[in-house]
Chains A and B, each alone.
Chain A
């Protein structure tokens, strides 16, 4: 649905070149929620702005819904943008307009007639649960309500893609949860593809199907979350399952979906090893329960026990 390839963005600042994106490839499949995770300054915001060309990439191409945006002229680009929704960290609502007026704005831009506009606005406000706030001004709303207006506005043009720029970063935890579940519902019910950027792991944990981890303008790893976690040396797994720094000889076992199988007691019985549990984390991510266990394995048939775990589909990493 979204194809980004070879994307570079270089800023020139007083003669110096600052590389914000150093060649990024990204593929977001139709109907998925794709998260870009990274610290501030990692380039994720620039990446998102390059997807709808709010920033012109220095090099590379961007395609959304089969249309190569980087090849469009200005007028065509404006029309293409009407089919790409975007929500913002600080909501970016028009304070001079009512809630209904804000949702109507993109419809005015598209040239939708007055009667049709009113009908569509009512429908959209109903969808985000703000039908009773149509006449209120943004200043009278809570943060969560403002973001709901932002979402209704972003959906006005029946977009196939929604871009989310840290949409929950300015909200408290409870409100964040309600906005995330709204996004999840829209994704399921409307088949909306969502590309979101965030610096918060719990957003990724809560709603993402796939993720790209960014650092210093580059994607370090990306893919479906269960696959990523099962990949040796995954940074996502390291951040998702925070465990103390391992000592030499420690064994780290990563489960994805096999968390309910009693593998530890099995290896103890079968291979006569001693298992000393040093730490463990269990998380629900992308609909599967995944976890990581750090143990010290001693005695018995240690190597055979490790092989057995690998055979069972677990990721086994031994710290050298």
Chain B
């Protein structure tokens, strides 16, 4: 394949990957962050201990994390149809991507929030701060470097998951590599795709590292 033949394919696939990753990142944060907070808050000795809810949430998160992504993607097809209206295409892939990444991100949020010292939380309680204030003004800002690092890992995981979206017609760089590089023996395209993926992951990781480090230096 010549560069002229490859470039429109690459451009389109990169756009699809970007679309899938951006949207699913957004929804992952939307669901994963509250879930992670809930895991910490409802734990024994948390701000609002609730052992039953905590166990249920923990179970849900573990369930989401124990399914291989490719299986999850197929298994949630009915749900995807319910939400998006279709089961194929880039947007249809956002549903399983979010379902796969949100529990993962929730665990990372949980870990980051646990890093905030018990002292710090108790000091805020001693000042008469309520739960909402403690979560919004103590836990989240204090855990911010960890949260950013967790988000970075999640985005990289989403880029990797999105490569499987070809299985449900989601397109993207992974799909391109499989269809052209593997099935049509277009080694050059395969190599280029891999390079593009590596560059994207590097960019995301570097950006995340810089932001996390800047936040942590304070």
Contacts and interface: CB of A to CB of B under 8 A. Distances in A.
Interface of A: 49, 52, 54, 77-82, 84, 86, 88, 90, 92-97, 105-106, 108-110, 137, 139, 153, 157, 163
A109 B128 contact: yes
A78 B128 contact: yes
User: Which applies to chain B's interface (DSSP): helix, strand, loop or mixed?
Assistant: helix
A94 B142 CA distance: 7
Contacts of B184: none
Given A109-B133, A139-B218, A94 B141 contact: yes
Interface of B: 117, 119-120, 122-130, 133, 137-138, 141-142, 144, 215, 217-218
Contacts of A90: 117, 119
B46 to A, nearest CB: 14
B128 A92 contact: no
Given A86-B123, A137-B218, 5 more contacts: A95-B142, A96-B144, A105-B127, A109-B129, A110-B128
A88 B218 contact: no
Nearest to A79: B128
A94 B138 CA distance: 7
Contact of A92 (B120, B130, B141, B144): B120
30 contacts: A52-B126, A54-B126, A79-B128, A81-B128, A82-B127, A82-B128, A86-B123, A86-B126, A88-B119, A88-B122, A88-B123, A90-B119, A92-B117, A92-B119, A92-B120, A93-B120, A95-B218, A96-B141, A96-B142, A96-B144, A96-B215, A105-B137, A106-B127, A108-B133, A108-B137, A109-B129, A109-B133, A110-B128, A137-B218, A139-B218
Contacts of A79: 128
A79 B215 CA distance: 32
A81 B218 contact: no
Q: Which of B117, B127, B144 has the most CB of A within 10 A?
A: B127
Nearest to A163: B126
A78 B130 contact: yes
Contacts of A86: 123, 126-127
Contact of A109 (B122, B127, B142, B144): B127
A46 to B, nearest CB: 13
Contacts of B130: 78
B18 to A, nearest CB: 31
Contacts of A95: 142, 218
Nearest to B122: A54
